[in-house]
Amino acid sequence: MRVLVSGGAGYIGSHTVVQLIAAGHEVVVVDNFGNAKPAVMGRLDTLTGTHIPMHAFDVTDKDKTEHLFATERIDAVIHFAGLKAVGESVQIPLDYYQNNLESTFSLLRAMRRHGCHTLVFSSSATVYGDQAPVPYQEDYEPLGAASPYGRTKVMIEHVLRDVAHIETDWRIGVLRYFNPVGAHVSGTIGEDPQGIPNNLMPFIAQVAVGRREKLQIFGDDYPTPDGTCQRDYIHVEDLAAGHVAALNRIVNSDDPIRTWNLGTGTGTSVLEVVKAFERASGQPIPYDVVGRRAGDLPAFWADATRANEELGWHATHTIDDMCADTWRWQSQNPQGYDDSVEE
Ligand code: WQD
């Protein structure tokens, strides 16, 4: 199939592009480079051995999105594009609601106008909110997130459900990610957050490579085995494979919409991640334990049974793989993509 990947120059999008092409699909990327570097595209061409058509604009632009569908044959869409920083979303909520919702509306309308009804949507475990029993299961209701970012994902899931309920020729896969980490085994592409990383793994990687002095651990007084929060870290390559599997499933499905958790089903603590990274990198990760971060939950992980059974998909990478692959990317690219001369 010819797949449009919105946000295809981003962290998860770029890894998914590689796996889509490896699976025999053609890919077209659209990205506004708001949270990605143009250098990624040259690396993707190198990794895949093909030139990937690229459109540089924001899919909230309805006219440009319409023009893309009018000029490119698109069989399916994987929609990653959107603003995704939880803390930032609290500061600029209108930007988050407008960008994340309008980009989805713009794509859905252009898809419908051009007879393209196959969509994989990038959602997040954050939609489970803070009351859901662990492990999280897809049928849990009510959805509810604790940040404007998370609420945009909840809203979009509801939009997709309501559209698919009445327009039953849609084939929509909703994927709820847990904590994506890691990098392509070559070290050629990886996570390259702009500014100070919000997330644990990229921050640890920047400490290991000498860009940051030490890690701050946000609380070790949680009701968990070692007092630090537990999360379901999933390797970005497993996550990318989940998108390929979901695409293959929905095109052969009778369900207009279906939701799957993409997680390992295992919780790993902050301290366990630190120790695994030290093993993988051979670098000490100095840290201070400081106060809890607002909004953090003590522990959650996925029930991935539905994806295992319905997609034939399983996460295969261990936390040690995740740390080793992150370290290879970071040590080969200490400044991220800024190291590279734009191809
Ligand atoms: C993990 C653990 C922190 C940084 C977030 C979003 C979620 C999704 C994934 C988009 C927590 C601790 C972290 C640090 C630390 N993003 N930590 N020091 O918060 O589980 O999920 O990213 O979909 O929506 O909420 O991931 O990596 O930020 O934190 O101690 O410098 O690491 O307290 O316990 P989180 P995280």
Q: What is the mean pLDDT of the chain?
A: 97
Catalytic residue among 149, 177, 233, 337, which?
Answer: 149
SS3 24: coil
Determine the pLDDT at residue 338.
84
pLDDT tens figures, 196-231? 999 999 999 999 999 999 999 999 999 999 999 999
Is 149 catalytic? The answer is yes
pLDDT tens figures, 10-62? 999 999 999 999 999 999 999 999 999 999 999 999 999 999 999 999 999 99
- What pTM did the predictor assign? 0.97
Which pair of structure tokens corresponds to residue 300? Answer: 């959650």
Measured from the CA of 153, which atom of ligand 1 is nearest? 23
How many Cβ atoms are within 10 Å of 168's Cβ, its own excluded? 13
**What is the CATH T-level fold of the domain 2-181+233-263, as seen in this structure?**
Rossmann fold (3.40.50)
- Prior bond to 135 cis, omega within 30? yes
Q: How far apart are the first and last CA of the chain?
A: 27
Determine the pLDDT at residue 343.
40
Say how many Å lie between the CA of residue 32 and the centre of ligand 1: 25
Pocket test for ligand 1, best of 147, 270, 300, 322 (most atoms within 8 A of CB): 270
Domain boundaries, the chain: 2-181+233-263
Q: Give the integer Cα–Cα distance in Å for 164 and 162.
A: 5
Which pair of structure tokens corresponds to residue 141? Answer: 């209701």
Burial class (CB in 10 A: 0-12, 13-18, 19+), 324: buried
